[in-house]
Structure 1
Amino acid sequence: MSKMRFNSVDHPHRRYNPLTGQWIIVSPHRTERPWRGIIDEKPLPVTLPNYDKHCFLCPNNPRASGDINPDYQDVYLFENDYPALLPEHVDIISADNPLFKIEPVSGICRVLCFSPDHSKTLPELPLAQIRRVIDTWNAQIEALGQRYIWVQVFENKGEMMGCSQPHPHGQIWASDFLPDELARKDERLRQYYRQQGSSLLMDYVEAERKSGSRTVVETDDWLAVVPYWAAWPFETMLLPKSHIRRMSELTQAQRDDLAVAIKKLTSRYDNLFQCAFPYSMGWHFAPFFKPQRDTHSAPQKHDIDHWQLHALFYPPLLRSSSVRKFMVG
């Protein structure tokens, strides 16, 4: 029996994610299956006011904690009133049973309002304001990185992604531990760098630029692509086209261009289904390292050349503004 000639458009296959070491199954032929659900439901037009007196995040309004927001006119950063991590260190007695491991964690959680305007998400902000968001991200990463090994900058946009406040905002969490996904990615990037002598994601940028088939947005300094190993229907990765390990290494021109890339990419999302497109977005970069307790010993040097700054966008939508993709099975 002769084998069929493989066609990536018609035949199921697996694709390898070099950042996690995991395989993603791809079944492109299933897009042809009968669909009796909603195909194209037009979203109801939603007009939000520039200011909402009931919003916990608008200027001059009280938050749920009772604290009053200042009359801010720019980005606004404050400590999360209901943080997932607390800065206090606590002692935990380890369980005798190895099946019930536990360890203490500490950190800081902050909220970043992108602007005082209740109605404007990132793609609707002027470039200068997006640039202010970028500068605040960087300042927080560098400041918190002096105390914590990891600083996660992210945005959960839309009710579908569990966002509890409609005022456009993101979050910044600093932790004294490296999350599993980052630890795996650090090891994979380091392994590739040792074997190939080059950055995995820089090599990936060059390969995607040559291909062009998965490119969504390209600017002078940035590239946004649907990753070859994408698991979500409209997943994208945003990367600088030069070797940048952390956001602090970006030049002023690269930061300006990042504002352009973010505006273009998020506008593409909104225009896809004519809605405020929901997603979970996060920045990944070289982790920081805890200072040594012994101040008399020579400081440790940590090689981070294997790292490349990048942002990941995970949107939940599938066929329309109301039909979402469920990871079932």
Structure 2
Amino acid sequence: MSHPDHPHRRLNRLTGEWVLVSPQRMKRPWQGETKPAASEDGPAHDASCYLCPGNERVGGLRNPHYEGAFVFPNDFPALLDEREGSPRTGLLREEPAAGEARVICYSPDHSATLARIDNAARRKVIEGWCELSRDLGSRWEHVQIFENKGAMMGASSPHPHGQVWAGDFVPTLVAREDAYQKEHRDWHGSVLLEDVLSAEEQDGERVIADNTHWLAVVPHWAAWPFETLVIVRDDVARLEDLSDDARDALAALLGKLLAGYDALFDTDFPYSMGWHGAPHGAGDDCAHWRLHAHFYPPLLRSAEIRKHMVGFELMAETQRDLTPEAAAQRLREVMK
């Protein structure tokens, strides 16, 4: 095992990428500032918000007076449902892409977040994710469900919401995870993330929350300071295959995890998150897959100081100072 105070590299088993860890840079005392959450006491309804119930969206469509989760087609989709053009071969290769995009509002309350709604409301969001995965997956190769939370992560609106992009291709990162999980199954005869889950539980240092159906951990190979990986314990490859009990357990685990994030710097914690499951175009060929979610929060030292992936990270290799073990300890402390 690497020395805890000396530089070393860790291999991301899902992508094959290495991460340089430089813990000696964190020896200075921690004096991070805090900034109270600004949106917690905000208005429940904003007349200028295009996601609030009853308000008009760009293009003239008006939202219903919805309660709970609300799904609608994205007014500015990144993918359109028909391919145009033809492939281009050779050095400057191109291919057409098609798909659909949806928006899912988590709550009618403009000031809410996935962390602050209750388990019953979170359960409705999870139900929405599962139905979107099932419905769009019946027509498209891959369904990507994600959330960009907070202006720091480029969220277009503070209203609590996520997005779904479904396409006729398997995106690069998902294809890479698919390949490495399949390679592990071929070589070892076991499911990669099931082995990772067991190894993380045995090690224990990076586990931050768990229940009978889920494990949340700062993964051994984490790139972002307080990155977490949420893995289902059950033999499940896609969201729609989760049992009712697993969906209930996920609502509880996300509530604990996201409340811990908010408590870390006493702020509305920004992040990008996304679900990775077996591409639907693969059909039943998904025994090597295990459903999981990635949370990538940018904050490093306070509510306003973030980690930037620049310089060495852009030109050479991902690097971090705060070890995953130290990050997990800090998260466990605020989640007690």
Is TM more than 0.5 here? Answer: yes
Query: Which deviations, in whole Å up to 9, do the C-alpha atoms of 1:193-215 show, x marking residues without a partner?
Result: 01111001001111111121101
The one of 9, 19, 23 aligned to 1:14:
9
Q: In structure 1, give the amino acid aligned to 2:277.
A: F
Tell me, yes or no, if the aligned pair for 1:273 and 1:321 is still in contact at 8 Å.
yes
- In 2, Cα distance between equivalents of 1:67 and 1:10: 57
What is the DSSP-based 3-state SS (H/G/I as helix, E as strand, rest coil) of the residue aligned with 1:74? coil
- How many residue pairs match? The answer is 310
Asked if residue 231 in structure 1 is aligned to residue 231 in structure 2, the reply is no
Shift of 1:45: 3.8
The one of 294, 299, 303 aligned to 1:321:
303
The one of 63, 72, 75 aligned to 1:69:
63
Q: In structure 1, give the amino acid aligned to 2:285.
A: D
Q: Match of 2:148?
A: 156
Asked if residue 85 in structure 1 is aligned to residue 85 in structure 2, the reply is no
* Cα pair distance change 1:191/1:93, threshold 3 Å: closer
- In 1, Cα distance between equivalents of 2:163 and 2:131: 14
How do 1:38-77 and structure 2 match up within 5 A? 39-43=32-36, 45-46=38-39, 47-77=41-71
- In 2, Cα distance between equivalents of 1:270 and 1:246: 28
Tell me, yes or no, if the aligned pair for 1:209 and 1:215 is still in contact at 8 Å.
yes
Asked if residue 138 in structure 1 is aligned to residue 130 in structure 2, the reply is yes
Q: Which runs of 4+ in 1 moved over 4 A?
A: none
- In 2, Cα distance between equivalents of 1:44 and 1:132: 25
Tell me, yes or no, if the aligned pair for 2:200 and 2:206 is still in contact at 8 Å.
yes
- In 2, Cα distance between equivalents of 1:310 and 1:7: 27
What is the DSSP-based 3-state SS (H/G/I as helix, E as strand, rest coil) of the residue aligned with 1:77? strand
- Taking only aligned residues, the RMSD between alpha carbons, in angstroms, comes to 1.7
Q: In structure 2, give the amino acid aligned to 1:168.
A: P
Shift of 1:189: 0.3
Asked if residue 23 in structure 1 is aligned to residue 5 in structure 2, the reply is no
Q: In structure 2, give the amino acid aligned to 1:118.
A: H
Q: TM-score, normalised by structure 1?
A: 0.90
Shift of 1:256: 0.5
Q: Bigger CA drift: 270-279 or 239-248? A: 239-248
What is the DSSP-based 3-state SS (H/G/I as helix, E as strand, rest coil) of the residue aligned with 1:83? coil
Query: Which deviations, in whole Å up to 9, do the C-alpha atoms of 1:92-131 show, x marking residues without a partner?
Result: 3626xx3321110000011000011111101111111111
- In 2, Cα distance between equivalents of 1:55 and 1:258: 29
Query: Which deviations, in whole Å up to 9, do the C-alpha atoms of 1:124-166 show, x marking residues without a partner?
Result: 1111111111111011101111110100001100000000111
Tell me, yes or no, if the aligned pair for 2:147 and 2:272 is still in contact at 8 Å.
yes
Q: Where do 5+ consecutive residues of structure 2 fail to align?
A: 312-336
- In 2, Cα distance between equivalents of 1:33 and 1:139: 48
Shift of 1:7: 4.9
- In 1, Cα distance between equivalents of 2:37 and 2:237: 42
* Higher relative contact order, chain-length normalized (CA < 8 Å, sep 6+): 2
Asked if residue 108 in structure 1 is aligned to residue 103 in structure 2, the reply is no
Q: Which has the larger radius of gyration?
A: 1
Q: Match of 1:94?
A: 88
Tell me, yes or no, if the aligned pair for 2:37 and 2:266 is still in contact at 8 Å.
no
- In 1, Cα distance between equivalents of 2:185 and 2:49: 48
* Cα pair distance change 1:93/1:17, threshold 3 Å: closer
What is the DSSP-based 3-state SS (H/G/I as helix, E as strand, rest coil) of the residue aligned with 2:58? coil
